[in-house]
Amino acid sequence: MTGRYAEPFGSHGLVRLDADAALVRAAMDAAPDGIVLVQHDGAILYANAAMAAISGYALAELLGTSVHRLLPRSHRMRHAEQMADYFDGPSRRPMGMGRDLWLERKDGSLIPVDVALGHTEQGGGAAVAFVRDITELRRLEARMHYQATHDTLTGLVNRWQFGQRLEQAIAESARQGEPFALLLLDLDDFKAINDGYGHAAGDQVLVEVARRLKGALRASDTLARLGGDEFTVLLQPLAGPEEAEQRAAELLQVLCQPCRMHGFELNFGASLGLALCPADARDAATLLRYADMAMYQAKERGRANFAFYTDYMGRRMAEKILLHDRLKLALSYGGLALHYQPQVCVATGRVQAVEALLRWSDPELGDVSPERFIPVAEATGLILALGAWVLDAACRQTAQWARAGLALRVAVNLSAQQLRQTDLVDQLRGSLAVHGTPPGLLELEVTESETMADPEQARQVLCNLQALGVGVALDDFGTGYSSLVHLKQLPVSRIKIDREFIRPLLHSEADATMVRAIIGLARTLGLHVVAEGVEAVEQLRFLEQHGCEAYQGWLYSKAVPAAQVLALLRSAGTQEDSVPAALTE
């Protein structure tokens, strides 16, 4: 090493400052960034202490050596050319303006650096490089990037990052002409785990699900958690739908293994929906929507199932949206009406009550059956507004009849969501009061399966409704698998035998037995009983023989508008005396 390199600020007069050269050197050594002076041929004229620390070389090793030594091997050739260009027209370059730069340390390791450049004409011209070790900064950036793209609980890719991967997968599939599958997965009854075992257990289940899925997937597949208990997978590459089907079945299988946790054995399943690119759609939003529809279809089929998107689901969804929109409109313009179907006493043939049934006539769609629109209203939540309208309209009609002297009991259907509505009791109390409806004339019909979903909650709500003075009937009885214990605890005064048992009654011994059993059960429990859907005289005879009290069905009448109810009562003949004069005029 020659003295020239060792004394850049000293006797060679590279920089002439008033301050003492030793002081300047000390100042340079105190700088947190590395500083190197490099001459035209790439030889290092000077380096400060920080540069030595960053590079791992001793100062003496750096001085006089080529600056290329500090560059990754792959960059050295290119850097020599860049340096020649630089000295032809030297310029300044501040920190933080460059691409990723790397420095090769003495031990061969690479560290990310940022470099600012300056230039001096002194001493024949030299470049001054200020070198900052940005390892920590990069680490921080990497951590922030990880946090922004991953789910903290499971460590899986998050929704945002998944969106990026999905776009990439679509682009790749278009370029290479190869399909891939988007799979959406939702745990079954996850809420029950959270509610029953606590959120910590819920979190553990999610971590376990992530672990199992990861174990069952290939490195090329993408697994993400979208949030809550929703996961998604990109199966790529994919030979075709058969492979997607097989892989979906495998995923279901690993998920359905019981999970031991703190001595408990938890059983959870999942529902999977699949959409294929490009067969089903070629854009991210549509693929996600289709996979979602398929997932709901899988859920409808019962726990632990998977389903592929089909055009049929698309059409069904389109119909659902159309019905929802038109129904909402009907609520506001008065396109809805209640019709009333008589419940008739088997022994006397007298009408003892009517059931209010919702009718919707749309200007474009025509008459739409409740079998078609009630499920849509239930799925979209519109049933609450619809149910409130029905309750109010029924209360108004009942009061109107009562004021005219016709004390006719009116039964109204309640949906499961209404039962869960916290203000249902207040709402009904309000309608009863506004119209002056005698509560005893109103009966609410709830289906057996609705009350089975959460028997205790249903019992509470029904008790509160009963306290208002209204009656409660169990609709569609025989289809909901309710236990006798459960039935005994519900504040119910009437059961309605589902029409599915009445229809085959005369040809099926099993159904006949069932109907006899229900009638017997009602009698034992002291409940009234009505048979639904009676269309034939023979069915009525059977009911009469076995002591069924009342029936409802087309044999007597379909549901009719309120104005025709009176005519029905009158035409029954035996009813003359009960139709008040005020109404017959």
Which residues form the interface with ligand C2E (CB under 6 A)?
Answer: 341, 357-358, 369-371, 374, 387, 390, 413, 415, 445, 475-476, 499, 532-535, 552-554, 559
| H or E stretch at 37 | strand 34-39
Nearer to ligand C2E, 283 or 300 (CB): 300
Task: Judge contact between 322 and 301, C-beta under 8 A.
Answer: no
Q: How many Cα atoms occupy the beta-carbon half-sphere of 298 within 13 Å?
A: 29
The two tokens of residue 362 are 């749309």
Tell me which of Mg ion, ligand C2E, none is bound by residue 341, counting a contact when its beta carbon lies within the kind-specific cut-off of 5 to 8 angstroms.
Answer: ligand C2E
Least distance in angstroms from the C-beta of 445 to ligand C2E: 6
Residue 413 lies near Mg ion (rule: CB under 5 A): yes
Write the burial class of residue 7 (CB in 10 Å: 0-12 exposed, 13-18 middle, 19+ buried): middle
CA 289 to CA 309: how far, in whole Å? 10
Least distance in angstroms from the C-beta of 283 to ligand C2E: 38
Least distance in angstroms from the C-beta of 553 to ligand C2E: 3
Task: Judge contact between 351 and 572, C-beta under 8 A.
Answer: yes
Nearer to ligand C2E, 243 or 378 (CB): 378
Amino acid at 428: L
Query: Inter-axis angle of helices 311-333 and 370-380, to 10 degrees?
Result: 90
Nearer to ligand C2E, 421 or 552 (CB): 552
CA 52 to CA 71: how far, in whole Å? 14
CA 125 to CA 118: how far, in whole Å? 11
What are residue 95's phi and psi, to 5 degrees? -70, 155
| Distance between first and last Cα of the chain | 126
Residue 443 lies near Mg ion (rule: CB under 5 A): no
Nearer to Mg ion, 104 or 532 (CB): 532
Nearer to ligand C2E, 369 or 422 (CB): 369
Residue 501 Cα distances to 136, 497, 517, 537, 539, angstroms: 75, 7, 11, 16, 11
Strand spans (E) along 157-221: 180-187
Nearer to Mg ion, 188 or 475 (CB): 475
Residue 418 lies near Mg ion (rule: CB under 5 A): no
Segment near Mg ion (CB under 5 A), from 294-302, 320-328, 406-414, 461-469? 406-414
Least distance in angstroms from the C-beta of 532 to ligand C2E: 6
Least distance in angstroms from the C-beta of 497 to Mg ion: 9
Tell me which of Mg ion, ligand C2E, none is bound by residue 245, counting a contact when its beta carbon lies within the kind-specific cut-off of 5 to 8 angstroms.
Answer: none
Task: Find the binding residues for Mg ion in span 528-567 (CB under 5 A).
Answer: 532
**How many residues make contact with Mg ion (CB under 5 A)?**
5
Nearer to ligand C2E, 33 or 445 (CB): 445
The two tokens of residue 163 are 């969106």
Tell me which of Mg ion, ligand C2E, none is bound by residue 392, counting a contact when its beta carbon lies within the kind-specific cut-off of 5 to 8 angstroms.
Answer: none
Least distance in angstroms from the C-beta of 500 to Mg ion: 9
Nearer to ligand C2E, 369 or 524 (CB): 369
Least distance in angstroms from the C-beta of 531 to ligand C2E: 10
Provide the sign of the torsion angle of the four alpha carbons 535, 541, 543, 547, taken in this order.
positive
Bridge-partner residues for 366, per DSSP? 362
Q: How many CB atoms lie within 10 A of CB 404?
A: 15
Can you tell me which of 104, 186, 392, 445 binds Mg ion, judged by CB under 5 A? 445
Least distance in angstroms from the C-beta of 475 to Mg ion: 4
Provide the sign of the torsion angle of the four alpha carbons 13, 15, 18, 23, taken in this order.
negative
Torsion of CA 183, 184, 190, 191, to 10 degrees: 180
CA 549 to CA 519: how far, in whole Å? 9
Least distance in angstroms from the C-beta of 556 to ligand C2E: 9
Strand spans (E) along 478-513: 494-497
Residue 229 lies near Mg ion (rule: CB under 5 A): no
Nearer to ligand C2E, 68 or 339 (CB): 339
The two tokens of residue 457 are 């909650």
Nearer to ligand C2E, 154 or 415 (CB): 415
Least distance in angstroms from the C-beta of 553 to Mg ion: 11
What phi-psi label fits residue 255: left (phi over 0), alpha (psi between -120 and 50 degrees) or beta?
alpha
Segment near Mg ion (CB under 5 A), from 119-127, 223-231, 285-293, 468-476? 468-476
Residue 475 lies near Mg ion (rule: CB under 5 A): yes
Can you tell me which of 476, 514, 539, 556 binds Mg ion, judged by CB under 5 A? 476
Which residues form the interface with Mg ion (CB under 5 A)? 413, 445, 475-476, 532
